[in-house]
């Protein structure tokens, strides 16, 4: 029997996950969102951060508010990333993104990507401190 080692998450990954959770709470607060998908506008129990431009391709945009929508996992998030561009649901989601962010949202995000600093431990620690302080003082 082959033994598999469990991969340990790096300190950076652990910190990114913590900042991601704080960012989610921050977005819910500033957008006054109590569990409603921003794309289909339906209440959902699985609300999460939906990155318009994927984090794998644009890691600097992971915590840029303009790149993140709060969406339901099953109603909009999963279909957008797994159904393919020709699917009717995906086309509806793309139209809704344009309604929310404007026709030129990709250009705006590309400019932000070029201007944003590298997502290193310094950046993540400062983002964490900012979000914690904001949430503490506004909740």
pLDDT for 87-104, tens place per residue? 899 999 999 999 999 999
pLDDT of residue 16 exceeding 90, the answer is: yes
DSSP 22-83: HHHHHHHHHTT-SSB-TTT--B-SSEEEEESS-TTT-GGGTT-GGGEEEEEIIIIIHHHHHS
Report how far apart the first and last C-alpha atoms of the chain are (Å, whole number).
52
Element (H, E) at 129: helix 121-138
Q: Given pLDDT bands bounded at 50, 70 and 90, which one contains residue 1? A: low
pTM here is 0.90
pLDDT in tens, 36-63: 999 999 999 999 999 999 999 999 999 9
* Contact (CB, 8 A) for 20 and 64: no
Q: Given pLDDT bands bounded at 50, 70 and 90, which one contains residue 107? A: very high
Nearest CA to 39 among 14, 65, 82, 68?
68
pLDDT in tens, 58-86: 999 999 999 999 999 999 999 988 888 88
pLDDT of residue 19 exceeding 80, the answer is: yes
């Amino acid at each position: 029997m082959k033994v598999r080692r469990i991969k340990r998450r790096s300190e950076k990954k652990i910190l990114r996950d913590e900042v991601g959770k704080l960012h989610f709470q921050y977005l819910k607060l500033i957008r006054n969102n109590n569990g409603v998908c921003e794309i289909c506008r339906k209440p959902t129990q699985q609300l999460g951060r939906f990155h318009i431009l994927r984090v794998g391709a644009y890691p600097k945009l992971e915590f840029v508010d303009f790149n993140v929508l709060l969406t339901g996992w099953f109603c909009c998030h999963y279909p957008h990333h797994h159904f393919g561009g020709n699917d009717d649901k995906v086309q509806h989601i793309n139209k809704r993104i344009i309604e929310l962010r404007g026709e030129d949202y990709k250009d705006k995000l590309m400019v932000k990507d070029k201007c944003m600093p590298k997502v290193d431990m310094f950046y993540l620690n400062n983002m964490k401190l900012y979000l914690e302080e904001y949430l503490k003082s506004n909740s």
